[in-house]
A and B are shown apart, each in its own frame.
Chain A
Amino acid sequence: MATHRDLMCAVLAIALGTGAAQAQVSSESSASILVFPKIVYDGSRDTLIQIVNGANSEVHAHCWYVNGAPTFPDLPAGPLNPPTWAMVDFPITLTRNQPTSFVASRGRLSAPDDPACNLEWPRTEPLPPIVEANYDCYGAGIDPGIVPPMPLGFTGELRCVETDAAGFPISGNHLTGEVMLVDAASGDATRYGAIGIRGGLDNDGDGALRLGEEYDGCPQALLFGQQTDGSEDPQLGAGSSVENELTLTACSIDYLTQSPQSVTVVFEVTNDLAQRLSTAASLDGWRTVRLRDIDTIFSAGVLGAPVAQTRVDAAHQSMSGILGVVEEVHDAGAGRVSAAATNLHMAGTRTAVDLITLP
């Protein structure tokens, strides 16, 4: 018995040690807050979201979808066309080590009688009446709860916060996640990792999640290398093009008042001749934009180079840091398009506290 007690003490001591060292935000470590910066259901692309409990015990979380699509979807986003900022939230429960997944457009209903996998595709004969087709195994397994489907035209983000059984935030650091953006017609798909924010010891469990104190601080700057906008695909040559679509979200978000956090963002672009250009733009809580639509400095024509790196900083006076993801979109012409998403690199940690306010 003493051996068991000693072992438990050792495990606890190690577990408590996690809180002592505030780490950097990362897409590769298990965390207490997961940020999925880009979720799309626009009629051509849909999003498959995967969340995994890395713990050997049951874990609870509460998730929020936020729709960042502009109020007037046919017009460019901007101050006169703010995001709809519609929010939908739902709790999930994952059994020990359980992975789960759901499609943004379909959600996931709590249905214990989900059909088992039926993988033969395409079927040569009709299924017997009592067998339901389930080529993708969708819904099979222990349901994490009810995940609501998102409406057509949804483009926004998802965040999940680890909680205790009563719904209060905790620093469990048990969650990892991924996102697959899939073109339904062509099957072109890309993946990125959910950005994980680890919780520390000083988590008071209230509805104000203080990033930089109770949780890891948001990064000071985001970095990414890119094939410059408008340059040719090096393998395809003439007639092809490459563009980059950047998605940014404010670290701070208020689920209580449901008002987006405005952030001024400064971009510094360096080409492969080590020449630098800069510009600035604003985002109302969340924004996805092609680089060329921010400023011409991102174009291959202006940069005079096929390769560049961009550093993205929240302006000093901004009340929030930023997180994001970038997609490099290659277009061969004639409708042949392929996209590749990558997480942005993150440098430094903000000294200011960012706040996620829960209702």
Chain B
Amino acid sequence: MPMPYRLWIAGLVMSALAPGAAAAFDSDHPAALVTFPYVVVNPSQGVDTRLRLVNTDDELLDVVCGLENTTAHCESGARPVCDTTSDCPIGVACVPDLKVSRFAFQLAAGQPIGWPLSTGATLPLAQNGDPIPAAPESPMRGVLRCFAAHPDGSPSARNALVGEAVVERAGETLLDVASYNAVGAQAHAAGLNDDRTLVLGGANGEYDACPQTVSVNHLFDLAHDPIAISRSLQTTLVFTRCNADLSRENPQNSGAVLQFLVHNEFEQRFSTSNTFVGQMVSPMSLIDTRIPDRSIFSATITGTLSGSTTIRAVGGSVMGLALEKRLGSDPTQYSTAAYNLHSSGQPDTPAEIKLDLRCPGRPRPDCRRARRSRLMLSDRARRRVAWEWKRGELLNLSEIGDPDDGTAIAICLYANDEPRASIVLPPDAPNWRRSRDALTFADKSGSFDGTRTITVTPANHGRGRVTLRAVGERVPALDLDGDTAAPVVIQLLNDRTGICLESVFEPDEVIEDSPHLFDARSVVPE
């Protein structure tokens, strides 16, 4: 395999020398997006993770976080937690899950906050907002990603966040503390938009790119520590994909193929590869074999104490962490040191973090306008929104994604370019029904912001049609005051395609504007 190896080396050299290698995707500098690649809680082992997040800026900062629970479960009965299939009954697989829980808070100027993953926390200042939720299950492990945001939840380019995690194992006879810094990606102020997808790297990158390769300097497994000679060494590597989907509670769990290139102190090199889904947490000497002393990550094979391993994700990018353990004769008495990985280069494909669909702070400028529209807003005892978008360009349903198959929909209302109200149907909203020529959402309970019906009817020759009806207390406050600043804009967005639909009502198109009713019709000349 000499030729592929040369290409692999050439790739590493190029990536190490490329200007992108100097990009600030690291744990050293304040950033707008920070990731804790490994958070864990396990009460039976006395393990908890204390997370700290600091606003280093001199102004108030909104923060939005997504906790990805990657805990694996046995695919049977009560679905007990497992690490490997050997933890499950015979014939039952251990399957990694992926569940996302989101939370948001505010940090005052210079304010640090800290919380244990196990319990979450009530934040110290009233302005901080809602409590941080506890770990969704216990034991659990996962990834925490947080980004600087504007008050409306849209991403902000303020590179003001730093974070630290302290993973502690404590009990009557135990005390083992390891800490690492959250990995940060700095935002590019000019490139940041509000399309609810954070793009890391690439020509139109909004944040610094995730690295093309990461490398870890380590001591080989099974060697003894030269200082505490009775302790043998074992390093666990943790990897998570740079891509993430924080838009839904149960996103599709994806993985990556990792290529490992190992060097020892004899100038010898070894390589292997492995795959993971969700999050990889594995002792190095179990990456290439189930027998550690046969592993290319063990001192028995490499013959030296010190090693260096470069890791590349095929067709993507990963970030990670190393946990170095010093094991004694008592398997429960070990010491752990956590440390961040080195990184270099930029991958060909930018990484993306998908956020839950929300209405942007201002109307999108590029939406398809219907030739005939009607909007009626009622703020009486029963709030009511009725919108008709008629005779517009909508050729087929795929243009707005597939709302019945995981596409989120948002209806955004603006007055004089200021947000007034929003209705969001999450990607896993039920009650969508597809017929031969239309897609219909019908929900008598109005669970999603009071939405009762949405009908989407594509057609040729600019005769597409969308109608919306939302009624009841769950409809967001419309704040009608009889003096609604025109123009009034209502837009339908989705999180799958870039296409949005809109109606715009100018002042002379308003039929009624009272403290309880807004009614307008719009006709765009052909």
What distance in Å separates the Cβ of B252 from its nearest Cβ neighbour in chain A? 30
B267 to chain A, nearest CB (A): 5
Which residue among A27, A97, A121, A345 has the maximum number of chain B CB atoms within 10 Å of its CB?
A345
Q: Which residues of B contact A187 (CB under 8 A)?
A: 225, 228, 230-231, 326, 328, 334-335
Taking CB atoms, residues of chain A closer than 8 Å to B112 are 225, 270-272, 307-309
Among candidates B50, B164, B222, B338, residue contacting A119 with C-beta atoms closer than 8 Å: B222
C-alpha spacing A225/B51, complex, angstroms: 10
Question: B344: CB under 8 A from chain A?
Answer: yes
Closest 10 CB pairs of A and B: A141-B265, A23-B22, A307-B114, A340-B179, A274-B108, A101-B306, A137-B305, A141-B304, A136-B226, A270-B110
27 contacts between A and B (CB under 8 A): A11-B17, A14-B18, A24-B24, A27-B27, A48-B219, A48-B225, A48-B227, A50-B217, A52-B308, A99-B307, A136-B229, A141-B306, A182-B228, A189-B335, A189-B336, A191-B324, A223-B162, A226-B52, A236-B170, A307-B112, A307-B113, A328-B166, A338-B176, A340-B177, A342-B179, A345-B29, A346-B29
Segment from A146-154, A173-181, A281-289 that makes contact with B: A173-181
Chain A contacts with B in 143-182, Cβ cutoff 8 A: 173-174, 176-178, 180, 182
Take A101-B219, A140-B304 as given contacts and tell me if A24 and B177 are in contact as well, using a CB distance cutoff of 8 Å. Answer: no
- Asked if B265 and A142 make an inter-chain contact with CB atoms under 8 angstroms apart, the answer reads yes
Chain A residues with CB under 8 Å of B178's CB are: 190, 340
Given A141-B265, A177-B217, also A309-B56 (CB < 8 A): yes
**Shortest distance from the beta carbon of A239 to any chain B beta carbon, whole Å:** 12
Residue of B18, B173, B337, B343 ringed by the most chain A CB atoms within 10 A:
B337
Q: Is the Cβ of B307 less than 8 Å from the Cβ of A225?
A: no
Q: Bound state CA distance, A306 and B166, in angstroms?
A: 14
Interface stretch of the complex, out of A68-76, A81-89, A227-235, A291-299? A227-235
The listed residue (A27, A99, A141, A142) touching B26 by CB distance below 8 A is A27
Nearest B residue to A138, CB-CB: B226
Question: CB distance A117 to B304 under 8 Å?
Answer: yes
Q: Which residue of A lies closest to B180 (CB)?
A: A342
Q: Is the CB of A18 within 8 A of B170?
A: no
Q: Spot the interface stretch: B8-16, B403-411, B503-511.
A: B8-16
Tell me if B341 is interfacial: C-beta within 8 Å of chain A: yes
A307-B306 CB under 8 A given contacts A189-B228, A328-B177: no
Q: Does B444 contact A (CB under 8 A)?
A: no
Do B335 and A30 have beta carbons less than 8 Å apart? no
Beyond the given pairs A119-B299, A182-B326, 11 more chain A to chain B contacts, judged by CB atoms under 8 angstroms and listed by A's residue number, are A30-B342, A136-B225, A141-B264, A183-B228, A187-B326, A191-B338, A223-B54, A223-B162, A235-B170, A332-B170, A332-B175
Say yes or no for B223: interface residue by CB 8 A criterion: yes
Does B30 belong to the interface (CB within 8 Å)? yes
B residues with a Cβ closer than 8 A to A are 9, 12-14, 16-19, 21-24, 26-30, 46, 48, 50, 52-54, 56, 108-114, 116, 124-125, 162-164, 166, 168, 170, 173, 175-181, 215, 217, 219-220, 222-232, 263-267, 269, 299-300, 303-308, 324, 326, 328, 334-344
Which A residues are in CB contact (< 8 Å) with B27? 27-28, 343, 345
Q: State the CA gap A101–B231 with chains docked (Å).
A: 17
Chain A residues within 8 Å of B108, by CB: 274
User: Which residues on the A side are within 8 Å of B164 (C-beta)?
Assistant: 224-225, 342
Given A29-B21, A29-B342, A345-B162 in contact, is the A136-B305 Cβ separation under 8 Å? Answer: yes
Query: Which residues of chain A are near B269, meaning CB under 8 Å?
Result: 97
Q: Report the minimal beta-carbon distance from A127 to chain B, rounded to whole angstroms.
A: 15
Measured CB to CB, the closest approach of chain B to A339, in angstroms, equals: 7
The 8 Å CB contact of B181, one of A119, A183, A345, is A345
CB A187 to nearest CB in B, in angstroms, measures 4
Among A11, A99, A273, A311, the one with the most B-chain Cβ atoms within 10 Å of its Cβ is: A99
Known: A54-B16, A270-B111, A342-B164. A28 touches B341 (CB 8 A): yes
Distance in angstroms between the alpha carbons of A345 and B54 in the assembled complex? 11
- Also in contact, A135 and B342, with CB within 8 A (given A27-B26, A56-B12): no
Q: Give Cα distance in the complex from A342 to B177, angstroms.
A: 12
| Cα–Cα, bound, A182→B227 (Å) | 7
Contact check: which of B23, B26, B176, B227 meets A46 at CB < 8 Å? Answer: B227
Contacts of A328 in B (CB 8 A): 166, 177, 179
Task: Give chain A interface residues in 3-54, CB to chain B under 8 Å.
Answer: 11, 14-15, 17-18, 20-21, 23-30, 46-48, 50, 52, 54
In the bound complex, how far is the Cα of B178 from the Cα of A168, in angstroms? 39
A residues near B (Cβ < 8 Å) are 11, 14-15, 17-18, 20-21, 23-30, 46-48, 50, 52, 54-56, 95-101, 103, 106, 116-117, 119, 121-122, 135-138, 140-142, 173-174, 176-178, 180, 182-193, 198, 223-227, 233-236, 270-274, 276, 305-309, 311, 328, 330, 332, 336-343, 345-347
B228 and A99 within 8 A (CB):
no
* B428 → A minimal CB distance (Å): 36
- Which of chain B's residues have a CB closer than 8 A to the CB of A191? 324, 337-339
Cα–Cα, bound, A116→B305 (Å) = 10
B28 touching A24, Cβ below 8 Å: yes
Contact B267 A54 (CB under 8 A): no
Kindly identify which residue among A14, A99, A309, A343 contacts B19, using a CB–CB cutoff of 8 Å.
Answer: A14
Contacts of B342 in A (CB 8 A): 28-30, 54, 176, 193
Assess the A192–B219 pair: CB atoms within 8 A. Answer: no
B24 near A23: Cβ-Cβ < 8 Å: yes
A330 touches B337 (CB 8 A): no
Shortest C-beta distance, A111 to chain B (Å), equals 13
Given contacts A96-B267, A180-B337, A330-B168, contact A116 B303 (CB under 8 A): yes
**Which of B22, B27, B114, B308 counts the most chain A CB atoms within 10 A?**
B22
- How far apart are the CA atoms of A226 and B16 in the complex, in Å? 33
Q: State which of A15, A24, A188 has its C-beta within 8 Å of the C-beta of B17.
A: A15
Give A347 to B113 CA distance when docked, in angstroms.
19
State the Cβ distance, A235 to closest chain B Cβ, in Å: 4
A99-B264, A187-B230 are known contacts. Are A25 and B28 too (CB-CB below 8 A)?
A: yes
CA distance A5 to B114 in the complex (A): 55
State the Cβ distance, A30 to closest chain B Cβ, in Å: 6
Distance, CA A28 to CA B266, complexed state (A): 24
Q: In the complex, which of the residues B305, B338, B340 contacts A28, with contact meaning CB atoms closer than 8 Å?
A: B340
**Distance between Cα atoms of A29 and B26 in the complex (Å):** 8
**Pick from A29, A99, A236: contact of B306, CB under 8 Å:** A99
| Chain A residues within 8 Å of B19, by CB | 14, 17-18, 20-21
State whether A136 touches B267 (Cβ < 8 A): no
Q: How far in angstroms is the closest Cβ of chain B from A110? A: 13
Closest beta carbon of chain A to B477's beta carbon, Å: 31
A119 near B177 with CB under 8 A, answer no
Set of chain B residues within 8 Å of A189, measured between Cβ atoms: 225, 228, 324, 326, 335-337
B227 touches A103 (CB 8 A): yes
Q: Please, which residues of chain B bring their CB within 8 A of the CB of A346?
A: 28-29
Q: B269's closest neighbor in chain A, by CB?
A: A97
Q: Which residues of B contact A96 (CB under 8 A)?
A: 267
Say whether B227 contacts A27, CB under 8 Å: no
What residues on A are CB-neighbors of B181 within 8 Å? Answer: 342-343, 345
Q: If A54-B215, A136-B305, A191-B338 touch, does A99 touch B225 (CB 8 Å cutoff)?
A: no
